[in-house]
Structure 1
């Protein structure tokens, strides 16, 4: 294997375990020789994980590639610790060829340490020692002179110099514990480097397990609620919490009720430990300086719990503003929002928030790492994270601000959670795909579980879409489906009532069952979905959209269509009624009236197409063309055209439109709105 292949393989192995290093945290490097194609001479290069990359999924394109001679020459122009941020732009002048990924702040650590391979990791056990009050003594006791202690220093050029000096002065050492931060290890080969990293981590973990106190978080005061009750409570609280966490800007949520979390939130020392905040810079950049903690038992009445959460949120915002005011100066970036990223609820679990689902999920994963760190530090010592002023320096670092400014502009529906019924095929599938393409998290709801799962899979992983199985005629099934949506993403913002079916029969041939099933699915089903969605949208307090996929048949009177047309007319008037009722909550309700959508339609494929073709006396395969020829534009309506209209109503340009029906029928004069 090549040097790069070895580095990638080692990185992926180390990054596969979140207790070894967290998502996008840590970095690895290798040094080697290649021939410079310009001078045809050998040059020594440094390959190091680039800024923002993740070890577990690292690929060669994620490596920064630098000339080692130029990298080390930066020592001669280093202006000192007070101006070390000036060194980061100089890394670009050390790049070899196109340079690969952008070099990270930790590049100096890897380039200046005179070892062929270097790992910098954030393992839970290692940070537990790094964040312990007597970390230097513990390090000496565990490792002797094999692993040395380096006092806290913000990541940067000076830290690289410090570690390089320790390496030069201690040829017997395999690595260091970085106070308040993590570990760094090195080796002459990739195998040796990885083995040294794992030795440090395993030794620290073994020490904590063998010598640590058994219950460092104190007695269990609030056992977890039973599974069903816990998730029911979480679903009730999540929209409220998401609304609070979105006071400054909309957020997506993630819910965690792992054993680690449930144990921590139930312990007597929850509040004082949580107040100390997280330690490792990678942690609090994603979790904020500290979480918001509910101080009520899990069996407290829901109404009083919600009221207390609102009070705590106001207190949290005031405290965060005070924290910013204490440490900011004229050069500090503007405050980025005072809402919590992590909320801990005894007996229920953890709610984490971010600008998208992945960010919210990763914030929760980092706080699980932080819990493990606190447990380890308290087991063998006292948890003593870096002080608040240093946390602020990291959180509002100019380099971090620059990284945020490089982020791409969010898509129009970013942070919005869409719930699409009948999303497993036809129009619903097209709507789900379009909303996801515009940035929404999508819940694909369908009676056909396989179809829903297929569409969710087309969209992407569970950070982008989830599938739920639901019969919209069943009120209890809708309750469960909406709760699943809430638990997946924190709430619901955009509901599309699309589920439908049709039977084409004359009045005399239409049975009660024909009438009932069409009204149950479309009229009653839409009502039930809208009602359950409103129970989330209203307490969430973020406004929202409900869109009905009605039909031109809600206005146009065609033959052999009494049950379907009447059900669609019911849906059409629900739009007006709900627009009037929900407008005060900022919830907009609109409808779309498509013409017959033949191609890609589940309804038409299920027999409706053959029935309508018989009514009009045309072959079924020509039905779409028949519909097109009777329109003013002479164009066939496809599922994506309906999806376009849904996006037009919800994408942000029609913020003052509610109670509207949008025709998507290529111009059917008889269906013009009057």
Structure 2
């Protein structure tokens, strides 16, 4: 057995254990600490993959007696981000008693139904199917991880011998078996027969390690993985991965440009029944794989680790593209045939592997798209799932590289893959998932997104599941708004894009960036604005031109770009203009502003006529006197409007409230509610309409 790994290339995993911090924690606290440390490095395990456990002495709440309780990561959790409530807790003696109920491998699914009967202290966290794998190992602390370096060995054709060569008798090896009760018994038997072993490699799956203390278990896990990393480094040193490069990658700008054109086209073909969100990855590992000589050989083999292909499907779709020729139109032109062929092959896989009680075939579209010279595109029901699917396939790429270095890579046989993908327990988990929110799978771009109305609108749309691109010219405000929304809804759901709505090239690039980040667009909220007030004889041409440029030309440019994208996707679309009461009711001393807002409203009517045949709806929300949070009202406009009404500035809000029919102030979230109505299916039969959100103003009644 090697005494210490040496590495020629990859960075070894450092121990981050802090004894001083650990000493402040109880046993479950140290389990959580260990879990978070392990899950923070994707070389150790992928998102949601693997699990950890500890057997803890607790007081039985009924008897007051000391009992052994298994703390183990619960179903659906992630070791890197989980909290204390992410662990299932079960009586160890009741888990042991389940052995007497076990009727053999053909009945092992029924054992999952017994796990709730073993729950300690009414813990609502559901136990996962991996619970027996931890319960029946005779060790206090157990880690089950999915390290790329170890799975590479586990997925090679000579996995058992390579495992022995690397770790000797310290780490054992077990043949492939689907996770569940029988695998737990297999692990128990291995531990009983090999008392000096520190862990075991599961063929095509991952790594189990254990220890007497949380720190010992953690550091054993790191040491075993580091030994695998060092071994693979030696094997791959100086060698070109995947048989060498067949096609060189394009430069970064060209790759993103192609992704921006390609992703909405893919989305058009896979998003009719369920909208999908895209993710683009052109990292070094991806580019090395998609441009390699072995791409056509390895990609059809699919992934090996069950966690990988549950996220990525049985195999990716490799698109036929020659980056030297650079014919993107031909690439797009071949999508229908390529995706149809993938669907047909997926249906073949389903029909040839299905059982009498298998769930109905799920979405047959690819999740992973590989484009030589460009990168990898993934699509899923939301951004986080699409991103994570891409991360899992990068794990698979790393596994294939390592497995090919020590032997020949092997994916899971189709039947084994199917039996996990369509496992009845997995289906039950899918059925328990909450109903999607009303804007799930939708992408919105909000101009003026850093201001009061824009940010409130983004918040409302994100709250209903939409991904949002905030566009604004104010970089500082944009960064602050993005950070605030990312903290509330998660970084996956929001992007920012700084551009001037009057700059034609910048607008086009902004929409291209949105397509690359999320795969396309469903909703445009045109909200960027300014305001000015002056008698007509004192209105300078520059002021008139600025109003027309931002409130007229700006709305035209973003709408044109949205229409182009909507038509490419063939999924319809929604445009919502945030105009103004002043577009319907003239105000003295604000001719430039009022005229430009009237132009917005009429532009929306024109676009509603043009877009209807493509299911593109265009509607208008008219605010009035939204002072709170408004960048417009924080400048000269506030002073000008106060002066025109012969009021002090601090009297304006009361003045506007009392002027309204309902005697109520209008806030950004009120406008956001109107925008959401038009952006959602609540208004699916409305286009060309105007919604006044002004607390009542008789002059602006539509007629």
Mapping of 1:402-417 within 5 angstroms?
A: 402-417=428-443
- Residues 26-63 of structure 1: CA deviation (Å, up to 9, x unaligned): 00111121222322221111111111111112221111
Q: Which residue of 2 is the match for residue 346 of structure 1?
A: 372
Between the aligned partners of 2:577 and 2:46, the Cα distance in structure 1 is: 43
- The equivalent of 1:276 in structure 2 is 301
**TM-fit CA distance, 1:251:** 1.0
Partner of 2:288: 263
CA contact (8 A) 2:210 2:217 kept: yes
Cα displacement string for residues 302-322 of structure 1 (whole angstroms, at most 9, x for unaligned residues): 211101122211111111122
Asked if the contact 1:148–1:176 (Cα under 8 Å) also holds between the matched residues in 2, the reply is: yes
Residues 620-651 of structure 1: CA deviation (Å, up to 9, x unaligned): 22223322333332222221111110011112
Q: Deviation of residue 486 (structure 1)?
A: 1.8
Name structure 1 gaps, 5 residues minimum. none
Selected match of 2:678 from 649, 663, 667 = 649
Aligned with 1:215 (options 240, 244, 268): 240
User: Is residue 2:575 matched to residue 1:546?
Assistant: yes
Query: Mean Cα displacement is larger for which, 505-514 or 191-200?
Result: 191-200
Aligned to 1:118: 142
Post-superposition CA distance 1:505-545 (Å, at most 9, x none): 11111111011000111100011111122232221222111
2:83 corresponds in structure 1 to 59
Among 260, 263, 268, the alignment partner of 1:238 is 263
Bigger Cα displacement from structure 2, 190-199 vs 644-653: 190-199
The residue aligned with 2:386 is 360
| CA drift at 1:372 | 0.3
Deviation of the 1:619 alpha carbon: 2.5
CA RMSD of aligned residues (A): 1.5
Task: Specify the SS of the correspondent of 2:633.
Answer: helix
Give, in angstroms, the shift of residue 604 of structure 1: 1.5
What does residue 584 of structure 1 align with?
Answer: 613
Q: Is the 8 A contact 2:453 2:669 kept in 1?
A: yes
Worse overlay, 329-338 or 495-504: 329-338
Q: CA deviation at 1:569?
A: 1.2
Is the CA contact (8 Å cut-off) linking 1:453 and 1:466 kept in structure 2?
Answer: no
Q: Residues 75-123 of structure 1: CA distance to partner in whole angstroms, max 9, x if unpaired?
A: 1111111111111121111111022521111000000111111111111
Provide the rounded CA distance (Å) in 1 between the counterparts of 2:322 and 2:455: 43
Query: C-alpha displacement at 1:131, in angstroms?
Result: 0.9
In structure 1, distance between residues paired with 2:227 and 2:356: 45
Q: What is the DSSP-based 3-state SS (H/G/I as helix, E as strand, rest coil) of the residue aligned with 1:666?
A: coil
| CA shift digits 1:572-630 (9 cap, x unpaired) | 11111111212222211111122222232211111112211222223322223322333
How far did residue 286 of structure 1 move?
Answer: 0.5
* Contact 1:65–1:100, Cα closer than 8 Å, also in 2: no
* Alignment partner of 1:86 out of 106, 110, 117: 110
1:106-158 CA-to-partner distances (Å, cap 9, x unmatched) read 00000011111111111101111111111112112222222121111100000
Q: How does 1:1-400 map to 2 (within 5 A)?
A: 1-99=25-123, 101-212=125-236, 214-298=239-323, 299-400=325-426
Does structure 2 retain, via aligned residues, the 8 Å contact 1:472–1:521? yes
- The answer to whether the Cα contact below 8 Å between 1:62 and 1:100 also exists between their aligned partners in 2 is no
**TM-score, normalization: structure 1?**
0.98
Deviation at 1:212, TM superposition (A): 4.2
Contact 2:575 2:679 in 1 (8 A): no
SS in 1 for 2:643: helix
Q: Secondary structure at the match of 2:566?
A: helix
**Among residues 600, 604, 613, which one is paired with 2:642 in the alignment?**
613
Matched, 1:507 2:536: yes
* Contact 1:181/1:280 (<8 A) preserved: yes
**Counterpart check, 1:442 vs 2:468:** yes
- Whole-angstrom CA distance in 2 between matches of 1:595 and 1:14: 53
Spell out, residue by residue over 1:409-435, the C-alpha distance to the aligned partner (whole angstroms, 9 max, x if none): 211111111111111112112111111
Displacement after TM superposition at 1:247 (Å):
3.8
Residue of structure 1 in register with 2:7 after alignment: none
Residue 334 of structure 1: how far off its partner (Å)? 1.6
Number of equivalenced pairs: 674
On the 8 A contact 1:247/1:339 being kept in 2, the answer is no
Question: Is the Cα contact below 8 Å between 1:215 and 1:379 reproduced in 2?
Answer: no
For the pair 1:422 / 2:422, whether they are aligned, the reply is no
Q: Output aligned runs, 1:472-551, within 5 Å.
A: 472-551=501-580
Give the whole-Å Cα distance in 2 for the aligned partners of 1:201 and 1:660: 62
State whether residues 301 and 315 of structure 2, in contact with CA within 8 Å, keep that contact through their aligned partners in structure 1: yes
Structure 2 unpaired stretches of 5+: 1-24
What SS class does the counterpart of residue 238 from structure 1 fall into? helix
Length-normalised TM-score, structure 2:
0.94
TM-fit CA distance, 1:389: 0.7
Q: CA deviation at 1:365?
A: 0.4
CA offsets, 1:154-200, max 9 Å, x none? 00000000011011001121111111111111122222222322232
Q: CA deviation at 1:492?
A: 1.4
